[in-house]
Chain A
Amino acid sequence: MSRERVLLMLGLALGAVACDDEPAAEPTPAADMAVAPDAAVMAQPIVASDKARVQFKGPRWANDLAVGLNLPKRELCRELGQADCMDEVHHIALGGVEAYRLGVREALPVAPATAAIAAERIALSACIKRVDQDLADPAEAWIFGPLADASGLPDDAALLPLAQALYDKLLRRDATPAEAQALVDFAAEVRADGATQAPARDWAVLTCFAVASSLESLFY
Chain B
Amino acid sequence: MRRRRPRGGPGWLAALLVGPALLAGPALALPTAPPLVCDHLPDAPACAGGAVDCALCHTVPPARSVYGAQLEGFLAPGAVRPLTPDAFAQALPDALDLAGALDADGDGASNGAELAAGSDPNDTASAPGAGGDRCDGPVTGDWNVCTYDAVYVLKKIHLDVCGQSPTRAQVDAVRAAGDAMPLLHAALDACLDSENWRGKDGVVWRMAHTKIRPVQSIKAGEEDPGDIPLGDYFDDYAYFVYHHTDDRDARDLLLGNYFVARTEGPDGTVYEPWDRSFREELDVRGFGPAQLVVRSARVGMLTHRWFIMSNTMFTAIPRTTAAQAYRAYLGLDISKLEGLEPGLPLPEDYDNKGVRADACAVCHTTLDPLTYPFTRYEGIVVGNFREQLPFAYSPNRMQHYVDTDGPRVAETPEAGRILGQDVANLREWAQVAANSDAFAQATVRDYWKVFMGEAPRDAEQAEFVALWQAFRGEHEYRVERMLHALIETEAYGVP
Contacts and interface: CB of A to CB of B under 8 A. Distances in A.
Interface of A: 41, 43-53, 55, 57, 59-60, 63-64, 67, 97, 99-101, 103, 105-106, 168, 172-173, 220
A205 B439 CA distance: 51
A174 to B, nearest CB: 9
B145 A47 contact: yes
B58 interface: no
10 contacts: A41-B140, A45-B140, A50-B129, A53-B452, A63-B196, A100-B214, A100-B215, A168-B168, A172-B165, A172-B166
Interface stretch (B14-22, B156-164, B265-273, B380-388): B156-164
A53 to B, nearest CB: 7
Interface in B130-185: 130-131, 134-135, 137-141, 143, 145-146, 155-156, 159, 163-168, 171
A173 B125 CA distance: 31
B105 to A, nearest CB: 16
A100 B168 contact: no
B452 A43 contact: no
Contact of B453 (A44, A50, A53): A53
Closest 8 CB pairs of A and B: A50-B129, A105-B209, A46-B141, A63-B164, A99-B209, A100-B216, A49-B145, A55-B453
A53 B129 CA distance: 13
Contacts of B213: 99, 105
B198 interface: no
Given A49-B143, A172-B171, 9 more contacts: A45-B140, A47-B145, A50-B129, A64-B165, A97-B206, A99-B209, A100-B224, A105-B210, A173-B168
A55 B494 CA distance: 14
B229 interface: no
A93 to B, nearest CB: 17
A50 B167 contact: no
Interface string B91-118: 0000000000000000000000000000
Interface in B193-223: 196, 206, 209-210, 213-217, 219
B252 to A, nearest CB: 23
Nearest to B135: A47
Interface string B466-495: 000000000000000000000000000011
Given A63-B164, A172-B166, A220-B159, A43 B145 contact: no
B163 A60 contact: yes
Nearest to A59: B163
B324 to A, nearest CB: 13
B163 A101 contact: no
B142 to A, nearest CB: 8
Residue picked from B139, B156, B495, most chain A C-beta under 10 Å: B495
Nearest to B143: A49
Interface in B13-57: none
A59 B168 CA distance: 21
Contact of A46 (B135, B140, B196, B210): B140
Given A47-B135, A48-B145, A220-B159, A100 B140 contact: no
Nearest to B129: A50
Contacts of B167: 172
Given A44-B138, A47-B135, A220 B156 contact: yes
A48 B134 contact: yes
B376 to A, nearest CB: 29
Contacts of A48: 130, 134, 145
Contact of B495 (A51, A57, A63): A51
Contacts of A57: 159
A213 to B, nearest CB: 16
A100 B213 CA distance: 8
Interface in B306-341: none
Contact of A103 (B125, B215, B453): B215
A61 to B, nearest CB: 9
A52 B273 CA distance: 43
Contact of B159 (A43, A60, A106): A60
A129 B137 CA distance: 46
Nearest to B144: A47
B361 to A, nearest CB: 31
Contacts of A55: 159, 453
A63 B164 CA distance: 6
Contact of B209 (A64, A67, A97): A97
A34 B267 CA distance: 49
A106 B366 CA distance: 28
B139 A99 contact: no
Nearest to A170: B165
A87 to B, nearest CB: 10
Contacts of A103: 215
Given A50-B129, A220-B156, A101 B145 contact: no
Contact of A64 (B129, B164, B453): B164
A47 B134 CA distance: 7
B494 A51 contact: yes
Contacts of B163: 59-60, 63
B44 to A, nearest CB: 17
B155 to A, nearest CB: 6
A133 to B, nearest CB: 21
Contacts of A53: 452-454, 495
